[in-house]
Chain A
Amino acid sequence: MMFITGRKSINVKNFLIQAVFLFVVILVVASAFTSARTNLAELGISSGFSFLERATGWGYAFSLFESSINDPYKWTLFSGFANTLFLGLITIMTSTILGFIVGSARDSNNITIQAITALFIQLFRNIPLILQVVFWYAVLIHMPSPKQAYNMFDVAFLSNRGLMIPSFNVSPVLIFSLFVLLMLYWLLKERLLILRNASAKWFYGCIIFGVALYLLFCVEGNLFSVPSLKGLRFVGGTTVPVELITMIIACTLYGAAYIAEIVRGGLNEVPKGLVEAGNSLGLNERMVWFRIKLPMALRTIIPPLGNQWVFMMKATTVGVAIGFSDLFMLVSTSITQSGQTLELIAILMMAFLLINISIAQLVHHLNSRMALKGH
């Protein structure tokens, strides 16, 4: 009997603790909401998402699409989201490639290569990202003016206005949708029966046919446009703004230093016996590398690599320091301009949640493809 009452009193105690916890959490959230409402109402700001339809009345520097100060908030925020994704995906790709190169070179037998890669990693990993960003920004805006721009083989020019590169004379929407289509195909080809074998030919055929039709009928003038100096400025091509180049350089170097360490850790985990087995089978160094070391190492590399990708997506927010108009910058400007604080913060959180979940899905997909059969 004693035992049962003891048990019961513990249950009651547990119930009470949780009830109090829940009560306090609800109280805090509710009071925060009500006081936010009253504070905002005093400023004459009504809550709700209707402000998304209003025109912003302010412009921003960098946009993948055409933008103007008459755009509604929803378009401006979407454009910021696209900028964040664009910068994040570019830096993820470049830093992963560079990181794999540096990380595997770190594993080399040659002592000079080891020294240089160690220097690279220790230099870029141990300086705060934001310091690297402002440093590269300062270096780039002190570049010569367009008239004395650095000429790279007559196709690209680097000046204090940014990097002038040749461009296709097609709309960015087309390139973006092609990219999305290919990504979807790559992710889903094993799930969808339609896209197997012979159907794949049809799939590719249709895409190529569609693009060819577009190029034939919709593009005016030259397909390719190369920048050239006319007077004081450049004509033709595309300008990559200084802010974007800065962010790409800084995030790539910083991320690559981390990824190199991840790759090296993964390579160290590969059992020595496997490499020796490969050597004794008469495989040359390159085959040992691609057939044994890399596939074995990838299994330990991919989970931390996924974390690093998420980190790099979040790191794009640092761009606000130099005025790169990513989602965070546009949300914070919107907050100061429109006052719709809670709604905009909610949108920001949702966007990052979406990004994190997508990367987690991608990593899960990669992981399951990499897993040893039967394990």
Chain B
Amino acid sequence: MQINSDRSVLLAPPSKRVVKFLHQRAFRSKTDSIISIGFIITLSIVIYSLVNWAFIGAVWSADDVELCRTSSGACWSVIDARYRLILFGLYPYELHWRPILACIAIVVTVLLSCLPMMWSGKRLTLTWLVGFSSFYLLMEGRLLGLQEVSTGEWGGLALTLFLFSSVVLIGMPMGLGLALARRSTLPIIRHGVSLFIDTIRSLPLLTTLFVAAVVMPIVLPDWMVGDKIWRVIIAFSLFFACYQAEVFKGGFQGVSKGQFEAGDALGLSYFQVLHKIVLPQVFRNSLPGSINMVVITFKETAIVIIIGFFDVLASAHAAFGNGLWAPYYLEVYVFVALIYWSFIFSLSQYGAYLKRRMSIASH
């Protein structure tokens, strides 16, 4: 902080600027220099051995399994041989073009909703509905006249994306509903909804999903039990909605009281005030928080492996299994971690950027 205010650094010629920068940010005192050099050495050793493991000594093709035993590096052959299983699970092999297109649809939906021109309730809803329904139609296939593939056969990354997008799509309006109910002037509704939100929020996600998957068939009458995956999606959406309601609550607090009163004074009805005046501002205010929730939800979907879904992590376990590929579990984990990491890192960086931008705009 103190350094950036030093104008002389900025005004000096480039080479001197670098020297001065390094001097002030890495070698200012004796201890500073020792720490810097120590860290640089450790970091280069770590990077060197990582590069050695992942690239130089690595075996890439599935045909060279024999080479893996003797090579010093990673055995990416396991990915080469099993990547279809990790990405699409037990989906029929010759139909894999469908989950590929479906996954692209979801990724495009997420990317589109990051564009500022899409930031209105109507456009976002439309984008997500189109994206999600094209995903579902492509995967399921019956309505498009393709061969039907039931949800039981979905798996891998495609299943993870399916869970993620349906939770966001169902949970968002639910969250808005809960947030509105919590602001209601009717005491019974307000307290009832608050109690519900606080209860769900105080329980781990895993227990909520477990209740939906295992307990609900006992509690519900037979005709209401339905498919396990839909029970879990609804429970997950409720969980998402309870947290999202808190995000929206913050968004509502950012709208001044005068705005509601102005709407009332113009003779607009409750829903007109909400729709035309308040909600657009609420959405805008709660955008960074919502992105944060979406990121967390994507990360949390990994938990469904515990209640027996064949998501990307479960298919990774199946990919190395107990046979030929068993020694190469590390490579598979690294591959799956890379998938999650790149999604989550880019989305959360985007959220952080948005938050910075908005905090500047509000000043």
Contacts and interface: CB of A to CB of B under 8 A. Distances in A.
Interface in A2-51: 14, 17-18, 21-22, 25, 31-32, 35-36, 39-40
B345 A314 contact: no
B221 A111 contact: no
Nearest to A139: B330
Contact of B215 (A109, A111, A345): A345
Given A116-B39, A131-B302, A135-B333, A21 B192 contact: yes
A302 interface: no
A263 B2 CA distance: 20
A321 B305 contact: yes
A143 interface: no
B207 A328 contact: yes
A21 B35 contact: no
Interface stretch (B253-261, B271-279, B335-343): B335-343
B56 interface: no
Contacts, number: 139
Contacts of A321: 305-306
A341 interface: yes
Contact of A17 (B22, B186, B306, B333): B186
Interface stretch (A96-104, A232-240, A348-356, A361-369): A348-356
B324 to A, nearest CB: 17
Contacts of B317: 134
A112 B36 contact: yes
B221 to A, nearest CB: 5
A113 B39 contact: yes
Interface residues of B, number: 53
Contacts of B299: 126-129
Interface stretch (B24-32, B108-116, B124-132): B24-32
Given A21-B188, A128-B300, A356-B202, A345 B25 contact: no
Contact of B25 (A18, A111, A310): A111
B215 A341 contact: yes
A167 interface: no
Contacts of A156: none
Contact of B306 (A130, A314, A341): A130
Given A130-B303, A332-B210, A341-B215, A25 B340 contact: no
B170 interface: no
B35 A127 contact: no
Interface of B is mostly: helix
A138 B334 CA distance: 12
Contacts of B203: 314, 349, 352
A112 B1 contact: no
Contact of B313 (A22, A131, A139, A341): A131
Contacts of B35: 110, 112-113
Contacts of A353: 202
Contacts of A142: 329
A112 B2 CA distance: 17
A55 interface: no
A305 interface: no
B202 A127 contact: no
Contact of A352 (B192, B204, B344): B204
B312 to A, nearest CB: 9
A197 B330 CA distance: 57
B25 A320 contact: no
B306 A131 contact: no
Interface in A327-347: 328, 332, 335, 341-342, 345
Interface of A: 14, 17-18, 21-22, 25, 31-32, 35-36, 39-40, 109-113, 115-116, 122-123, 125-131, 134-135, 138-139, 142, 272, 310, 314-315, 317-318, 320-321, 328, 332, 335, 341-342, 345, 348-349, 352-353, 356
Given A115-B43, A135-B333, A139-B330, 18 more contacts: A22-B188, A22-B192, A25-B192, A112-B35, A112-B39, A116-B39, A126-B299, A127-B337, A131-B337, A138-B333, A310-B202, A314-B203, A317-B207, A318-B206, A341-B214, A352-B207, A353-B202, A356-B202
Interface of B: 1-3, 22, 24-26, 28, 32, 35-36, 39-40, 43, 185-189, 192, 199, 202-207, 210-211, 214-215, 218-221, 299-300, 302-303, 305-306, 313, 317, 329-330, 333, 336-337, 340-341, 344-345, 348
16 contacts: A18-B186, A22-B192, A109-B24, A128-B313, A128-B340, A129-B299, A130-B302, A131-B333, A134-B317, A135-B337, A139-B330, A320-B206, A341-B214, A345-B207, A348-B207, A356-B202
Q: Which 9 A-B pairs have the closest CB atoms?
A: A128-B302, A314-B204, A111-B25, A112-B39, A126-B344, A18-B188, A317-B206, A317-B204, A36-B219
